[in-house]
A and B are shown apart, each in its own frame.
Chain A
Amino acid sequence: MKSYLKLVNFEINRFFKLYLIIMALTVVSQIMGTIIVSKGNMNYINQVIYENQLSVSQYIEENRPFSFQRVVYSEWFTMPIFFCMALLMIYVFFIWYREWFGKNTFIYRLLMLPAERITIYFSKLTAIMLFVLGLITLQIILVPIETFIFNRIVPAEFRTSYPLIDFYSVEIWRWLYPNTIIEFILMYGIGLIVVAIIFTAILLERSYGLKGIFSAVAYSVLSFGILVAPVILSSIYTSYFYPSEILLMELVTSIIVLGSAFWIANQLLKYKIRV
């Protein structure tokens, strides 16, 4: 346990500087976006009022107030989220390959540690999940700040409230923050399985070289196939399976895929890994 925690901490520290830069970029982009979108809308309103010689009350009578939705729907808000997702996806590969392709083959030292080798795998998996959840947390913290800035720029008479529940009209928000905590755990559980499949595929490639590439591809396709089989089945046989049955099937396939990913990774790290 101690060596696992040490390794997780080690993985976090290695990526932390870059992680802070990603976070800073997200904060800057979203706050700038809030200011630009809010000011842009206010400039437009002022222009309409000026050009048509309207009073504020006349304008409000003829036009609907707008909400923070304008910010949420803008690229300033969504682009950093996609950027972070893409960067973390790259890091899922980099977190392993850096051990082999760095200045020194650091994997030597990792594999020689007096602990179960699978601990390296678990620590990297934990680190990735912490990075993902950290960015999810950042977004939760940012929204009230952005709403505050929006409310400071847009006078009350021109705006309407945009409750948290309405964020769910945005597709990306529904995926990042599923409706209930249970759904959240399920969704990120599937994310964890996907990362575990990729990790095991990387280890296959690292263990068998060129042959390993083919086996990694075959393993990934098979694992993803099993993982999504219940969903595919339910879309082929529309309405045949009840939701509880789909969830149960998904749970069983998830356990099979995750269990086999751990078992294969353990075997590879113990007996096959090449340095």
Chain B
Amino acid sequence: MKKYSIMIIICFAIITAISSYYIQLAIASKNAVSFTIETTSGDKKEIDNLMLQASYQSGDSHRQLYITKDAATLQKRRSIISNLNTPYEISKYQQYFQEHRNFMRGKYLSPGNFFEDDVRIIHTTAPGNGENVLKGNLLTMDISILDKKSNDSLSFDVSTTAQVSYNFLLVNNVYADNGEIKILATGYPSNGGSELHLYTVDVNKKTLLYDALLAKEASDVDTNSTIKTFTDDNKYQKDYFVYMIDKYKRQEEGAPKLISSQLYLYNNKNNENEKLTIPEELAPKVDSLLLQGSEIFIPVFSADDLQLNRYNIEKKQWEKPLHIQLASDVLNEMVPFLQIANDKIYISESTTGGHLFFIYDLRTGKSLYEGQIKQENGENADYTLCIELLTEITH
């Protein structure tokens, strides 16, 4: 026994240290920073299925947190193997993965790449995001269609000859109707700038019908332009999309000066592309535009008020803005988090008194819920919490 003493000591030290390390880590994970949403007023059920994705910073500690009503704060695990699991566990595609496991293989997980209606799910992508497609070569789009009732799927690809060389190409929006699929995609030519294309695909013939160039960033010695697209990422059936072309004049010193900004509204149902006129006072805030179903929202924060301007696409008119009283003075504090989904307005304000969370009815502006995001556990009392995204979870 004595002659094995070194080996025994090493083995004992290894087992003791490693097991106590992992016990300590498990305890640390349980007691790690966690937040809960404490109801102040309104219906508690409003937050039953909500998950707030937040960025937490305290001293040198920076973490991604997922806050739910029952303090089940999930930490984004920084590990090699669990990284494989995380995107699937807490993503908005969880239901797709559960119900259509085979169809979801190899799919690019971005809301813009999916379309869903009562009978089918469609996914389109440019393989490898269309990376390094040279001028004259084929630019391909992979299309997969799943019949939700029979669970049968169909995959095919369509191609067009690239008119310029692309660094990459990203699909922004997919729409399907009357045997056609419309794919909105932004191409990034290798000589700079970007192009907005609308590809129309005939599903029955499995061919590309049109490749319409909707917009192109132009640049010369004095001016340049930028394109920005706005889509409704809350749902997979998007009848409309909006894009904006901003033109800038280069300045000898300082940032380029905006000389014109034009919004376009594209209606997938009837292929209408119309210029959208924005009231002059909203023009500077147009960057924060939100598209929800058949409505366009432009939020404007003033000192202690949120003015939610809305445009009804079907009625083609700007409606009376909704005013929501804020708890804190925005000009002195951080700009509140705002998200519109499920006909509700979700607001989170970071105030000196703590982090407040509100839910309002999108139609009436009536308060549905009011709560406070409170820290349950945490090593440091001094921290900043920044809400980044709100998602619905399916248990």
Interface residues of A (CB under 8 A from B): 5, 8-9, 12-13, 16, 64-67, 69-70, 130, 133-134, 136-137, 140-141, 160-166, 168-169, 174-175, 177-181, 183-184, 186-187, 237-243, 246-247
Contacts and interface: CB of A to CB of B under 8 A. Distances in A.
Contacts of A13: 6
Contacts of A67: 59-61
Name, among B14, B101, B380, the residue most crowded by chain A CB atoms within 10 Å (CB to CB): B14
A214 to B, nearest CB: 34
Contacts of B255: none
B13 A134 contact: yes
Nearest to A246: B84
Nearest to B108: A239
B88 A12 contact: no
19 contacts: A5-B4, A5-B7, A9-B3, A9-B6, A66-B59, A134-B14, A161-B59, A163-B28, A163-B379, A164-B25, A165-B28, A165-B29, A165-B75, A168-B78, A179-B79, A180-B82, A237-B106, A239-B108, A241-B105
Given A168-B79, A177-B25, 10 more contacts: A67-B61, A134-B14, A160-B61, A160-B382, A161-B380, A163-B32, A166-B63, A168-B77, A169-B78, A242-B101
Interface stretch (B16-24, B148-156, B263-271, B308-316): B16-24
Interface of B: 3-4, 6-7, 10-11, 13-14, 17-22, 24-25, 28-29, 32, 58-63, 75, 77-82, 84-85, 88, 101, 105-109, 379-380, 382
Given A9-B4, A64-B59, A175-B80, A164 B22 contact: no
Contacts of A166: 60-61, 63
A211 B94 CA distance: 54
A169 B62 contact: yes
Contacts of A133: 14, 18
A140 B20 CA distance: 9
A66 B63 CA distance: 16
A166 to B, nearest CB: 5
Contacts of B81: 178-179, 183, 186-187, 247
Contacts of B58: 160
B59 A240 contact: no
A179 B28 CA distance: 12
Contacts of A160: 58-61, 380, 382
B84 A243 contact: yes
A164 B379 contact: no
Contacts of B62: 169
Chain A residues touching B, majority SS: helix
A179 B77 contact: yes
A237 B142 CA distance: 14
Given A165-B29, A165-B75, A174-B79, A180 B22 contact: yes
A183 B79 contact: yes
Given A67-B61, A165-B28, A187-B80, A140 B6 contact: no
Given A180-B22, A243-B84, A65 B59 contact: yes
Contacts of B60: 66-67, 69-70, 160, 162, 166
B1 to A, nearest CB: 11
A250 B130 CA distance: 30
A137 B13 contact: yes
Nearest to A65: B59
Contacts of A163: 28, 32, 61, 379
Contacts of A141: 17
Contact of B79 (A16, A164, A180): A180
Interface centre among A136, A184, A239 (most CB of B within 10 A): A239
B121 to A, nearest CB: 16
Contact of A137 (B17, B75, B105): B17
Contacts of B20: 140
A134 B6 CA distance: 12
A165 B4 contact: no
Given A9-B6, A183-B80, A165 B32 contact: yes
B22 A181 contact: yes
Contacts of B11: 130
A174 B25 CA distance: 13
A50 to B, nearest CB: 24
A69 B57 CA distance: 14
Nearest to A173: B78
B80 A239 contact: no
Given A165-B32, A243-B85, A174 B80 contact: yes
A178 to B, nearest CB: 6
A59 to B, nearest CB: 15
Contacts of B82: 179-180, 183
A247 B80 CA distance: 12
A247 B85 CA distance: 11
Q: Which 5 A-B pairs have the closest CB atoms?
A: A160-B59, A179-B79, A243-B84, A168-B78, A240-B106
